Amino acid sequence: MKNTFGFIGCGNMGGALAEAVAKTVLGDNIMVCDSAFDKAERLGRKCGMQVSDLASIVKSCQYIFLAVKPQGAEALFASIRPMLQKRKDPFVLISMLAGTSISTLESLAGCHCPIIRIMPNTPASVGEGMILYDYNDSVTADQLADFSNALSEAGRLDHLPEKSIDAASALSGCGPAFAFLFAEALADAGVECGLTRDQANLYAAQTLLGSAKLLLETGKHPGVLKDAVCSPGGTTIAGVHALEDGGFRAATINAVTAAYQKTLQLKK
């Protein structure tokens, strides 16, 4: 039997993962729905996926991605719980609800079913995402393999204990927004120094891309790579001094910890 994948929610994150899955799974085997029908329609047309409805996805798909806001979890499960409980064939719930634990999802589902909890980020839409995940003991090795294969074009997957997911996602899940903010600031500085906006945006983006690749491929500590750019008495160390004077590191740490604390609040 062919594997079918359903996405409930086609917002930024749900849409990004659906696009990634569409690179490895035939569009006919992917169903999408959203409370805003036009979102699902645009995504389906773009990637050749089936535009469907909530009931059809819950009743028929083997892998069901829950891509809604955590505030909407109770209302969603109130709608789908009876359908899940009636299913006799295997299915897996794949949840990206921030701050919603596997045990909470099991309670909301009202049945003992396989659950994979994931925390992805938006670069998954271009194949450079960071997808964190954990799962309950009902998930089989074959189901894990299907999950990993389907998301293989989304970026890097990392299995870690659920207790660490909230902290990790405060970095990788929220981090793209912080990176884009930094890229915008770099580009603004370039414009102030006389570059065109297009030039500045390109140079900022390529610099961040190249720096990230260098960090990943060398495996060196970021401080070591930073030191390699800073010549004694040179221009870069003067810029580093200015960033430190502005509290750059402290502001970055505060941003990640603020995101983490907000995630903990969502659990209450």
pLDDT of the residue at 197: 98
Whether residue 104 sits in one domain with residue 224:
no
Structural domain harbouring 50:
5-160
Does residue 170 lie in a domain region? no
pLDDT of the residue at 27: 86
24 CB neighbour count, 10 Å cutoff: 13
Give CA–CA dist 208/214, Å, rounded. 10
User: Mapped to the 3 state alphabet, what secondary structure does the chain carry?
Assistant: CCCCEEEECCCHHHHHHHHHHCCCCCHHHEEEECCCHHHHHHHHHHHCCEECCHHHHHHHCCEEEECCCHHHHHHHHHHHHHHHHHCCCCCEEEECCCCCCHHHHHHHHCCCCCEEEEECCHHHHHCCEEEEEEECCCCCHHHHHHHHHHCCCCEEEEECCHHHHHHHHHHHCCHHHHHHHHHHHHHHHHHHCCCCHHHHHHHHHHHHHHHHHHHHHHCCCHHHHHHHHCCCCCHHHHHHHHHHHCCHHHHHHHHHHHHHHHHHHHCC
Does residue 224 lie in a domain region? yes
Share the mean pLDDT of the chain: 94
Span 244-253, pLDDT tens digits: 999 999 999 9
Does residue 66 lie in a domain region? yes
Is pLDDT at 219 greater than 60 in this prediction? yes
pLDDT of the residue at 33: 96
* Total number of domains in the chain: 2
Span 157-186, pLDDT tens digits: 999 999 999 999 999 999 999 999 999 999
Whether residue 76 sits in one domain with residue 185:
no
Whether residue 204 sits in one domain with residue 148:
no
Predicted confidence band of residue 198 (pLDDT cuts 50, 70, 90) = very high
Mean pLDDT for the stretch of residues 145-161 = 96
Mean pLDDT for the stretch of residues 107-113 = 92
Does residue 168 lie in a domain region? no
Give CA–CA dist 168/173, Å, rounded. 8
Does residue 46 lie in a domain region? yes
Whole-prediction pTM? 0.89
Which of 126, 160, 194 delimits the end of a domain? Answer: 160
pLDDT of the residue at 71: 87
Mean pLDDT for the stretch of residues 149-158 = 96
Does residue 165 lie in a domain region? no
Which of 129, 160, 191 delimits the end of a domain? Answer: 160
pLDDT of the residue at 2: 65
Is pLDDT at 1 greater than 50 in this prediction? no
pLDDT of the residue at 160: 96
Mean pLDDT for the stretch of residues 201-220 = 98
Return the closest-CA partner of residue 64 out of 98, 99, 17, 100. 17
Whether residue 183 sits in one domain with residue 147:
no
Identity of the residue numbered 238: A
Whether residue 233 sits in one domain with residue 122:
no
Cβ(94)–Cβ(120) below 8 Å = no
